[in-house]
Structure 1
């Protein structure tokens, strides 16, 4: 298969996902549609490396991930992160729910080692899935090695539609509150949009004509490099994921005026970056053959169902205590099943389908997007890697 043919096919799938999401007003999310189509493709005529043939290999995907996550950090100010402490608590509560349900009911239905392998990938990260898969292989548990990868690539099938449903309910509630005058129209997102046109504080004396796309990419890459260098320097003492530091450094760089808000959008690179990263995520579905799924289908489905139940119960309790609506609390905990960029895409799809009024869209984004982003990073990027490092020693 030629590169351009591969690229055309995978882009057609992404577009079909967009069409279905638009036609169904996000009741069927684009990421769910794309995942199904990629799975069918791999089971029929797709070469296993179709995404790499199209030009999005692991090296390119890593580069895009550094740029995207650093860019995402600019969406959140230090004040916003402080304000999102409830989302952090709810995300952690959802993870506790997964562990509690799987280590009790799940362990009774199957065995403890299966549940040990299941938890870190269910909390979200591909790194966690790979760690558990390699650990299971080293322990001679070949089926569980496959199980770790498959549960990671399949769990979004539960997370995408449920998140879309609860976010749409939350959007409906917020719009009603807004129309009754209980929620202010002027929001942090609107303020950020107004500030977004300004050059970052450290470069305001530089003529605008010199703040080119390449300069924005350069500064994004430099912040990503600092995150990578810091992670490497800390490695002998403590393991800190470089991508976690990209988010933190993105927040700091924006706060102190080195990066403007959403520099990747302003450099006209955001759409391409999202495209590349989504293709890389769907590339993981090539591991899930029909034969493989048949061997592990029962523990796979039951583990995901139990995880969702655990997240719902514990996030509901945490939401009640923190006075966060049950729908938003559940949605935040569900980000563990997919993380970024799916949490970003799902939230935006729901907002666009809920209202055509720009002010109302900004209001919805300001209330739903920050907790969704923070929740996803707490679970997928941070906690899943920590859990994998602990649980792999139990095999």
Structure 2
């Protein structure tokens, strides 16, 4: 297949997802639709390497991941992380719910190794799935090695629509409060004002630089430099402790934004955010090429069983801790569900839901300030940190 045929096909799949999401007012998220279409494509006429043919090989995808996660850090602040302590507790409680449910109910239905392999990918991302897949292969469990990848790929199909439903209910409740003058907008993560109340020029370190020199390339350079520092720190720390460079990218993004080296959302300001999201989504869906129909049938029972049991456990634990912390059950469950997909899906679904609920810019700002920060923080805590730690522990059980 020619590159310039593969590329429009894949972009058209993403576009169909957006259209259906818009038509259904985000009840059916675009990522869910695109994932199903990719799966059908691989089962019919997509060549396995179609994403690489289109121009997004793994090296390009990794570059985009570094830029996007560092960029995501600029959407948060050290103050925001501190303010989101309830979100962090709820996200961790949701993960504990998955572990408790699978080690109590799941262990009665599936063997011990299946449960052990399922948990880290179920509460995490690609890194934890790869750790468990390689661990299962090394332990002589080839089927479970495939199972670890497939559960990572398929888990979002449960998480996307559930999250959309929860966020729509939460967003509608917030809108009703705002329209009744019971709610105001919070300061968005990364927004800073001076003593006069006026916005501080960003980035602060380059406040005296003429705007004509703060070009798109200069924004990309600073973002890439911060990503490199995260990578370098991870490499230097490796002999002592294994730290994912992607975890450090987000942390360094927060720090870079806090000290004024980076502005808020530099990728968007450099006109590169849309392309980066497109590339990352294609890379994520590329994982579906290994999920053949025969393989899906072989692992269908443990796949569905582990996801259903895990999500039930997640809901129970998040509901309880949300009740104790006075957080709505909808928001608590949505926060926990970020463990099933992480970034960029947490960002995309939240923005889709907000745009579907209102066309008024002020109302969108209110919803964004209340809903986006906890979703981003939760995705960071569950997928980027906790799942990798769990994988490192659980792989030792095989």
Fold shared, TM-score > 0.5 on shorter chain: yes
Query: In the TM superposition, what whole-angstrom CA distance separates every residue of 1:205-239 from its partner, at most 9, and x where no partner exists?
Result: 11110000000000000100111111111111111
Partner-residue secondary structure (3-state), 2:182: coil
1:234 has 2:237 as partner: yes
Counterpart selection for 2:367 from 364, 369, 376? 364
Q: Which shows bigger deviation, 378-387 or 190-199?
A: 190-199
1:64 — aligned with what? 64
- Tell me the TM-score normalized by structure 2: 0.97
Shift of 1:101: 0.3
Q: Distance in 2 between matches of 1:318 and 1:57?
A: 42
- Tell me the equivalent position of 1:211: 214
Of residues 263, 283, 289, the one that matches 2:292 is 289
Question: Do the aligned residues in 1 keep the contact of 2:77 with 2:189 (CA within 8 Å)?
Answer: no
| Correspondence 1:278 to 2:281 | yes
Q: 1:378 to 1:252 in 2, by over 3 A?
A: same
- 1:190 Cα deviation after fit: 9.0
Aligned to 1:92: 92
Kindly state the Cα deviation for residue 189 of structure 1 after the two structures are TM-superposed.
2.3
2: CA distance, partners of 1:330 / 1:199: 35
- Counterpart position of 1:136: 136
Equivalence map 1:83-232=2 (5 Å): 83-185=83-185, 187-189=186-188, 192=191, 198-232=201-235
CA distance in 1, matches of 2:384, 2:134: 19
Report the Cα distance in structure 2 between the residues aligned to 1:39 and 1:257, rounded to whole angstroms: 43
- Which one of the candidate residues 251, 257, 260 is aligned to 1:257? 260
- Cα RMSD over matched residues? 1.3
SS at match of 1:121: helix
Q: Are positions 1:243 and 2:232 aligned together?
A: no
Q: Distance in 2 between matches of 1:3 and 1:384?
A: 35
2:73 maps to 73
Map of 2:348 onto structure 1: 345
> Is the Cα contact below 8 Å between 1:189 and 1:363 reproduced in 2?
no
Task: Specify the alignment match of 1:5 in structure 2.
Answer: 5
TM-superposed deviation, 1:199: 2.6
- 1:212·1:267 contact (CA, 8 Å) conserved in 2? yes
* Aligned-partner SS, 1:192: coil
TM-score (norm 1): 0.98
Is the CA contact (8 Å cut-off) linking 2:338 and 2:375 kept in structure 1?
yes
Corresponding residue SS for 2:183: coil
Q: Residue 312 of structure 2 aligns to a residue in which SS?
A: helix
The CA deviation at 1:196 is 7.6
Structure 2 residue runs of 5 or longer lacking an equivalent are none
Tell me the distance in 2 between the aligned counterparts of 1:226 and 1:146: 34
Runs of 5+ unmatched residues, structure 1: none
Q: Is the deviation greater in 124-133 or in 325-334?
A: 124-133
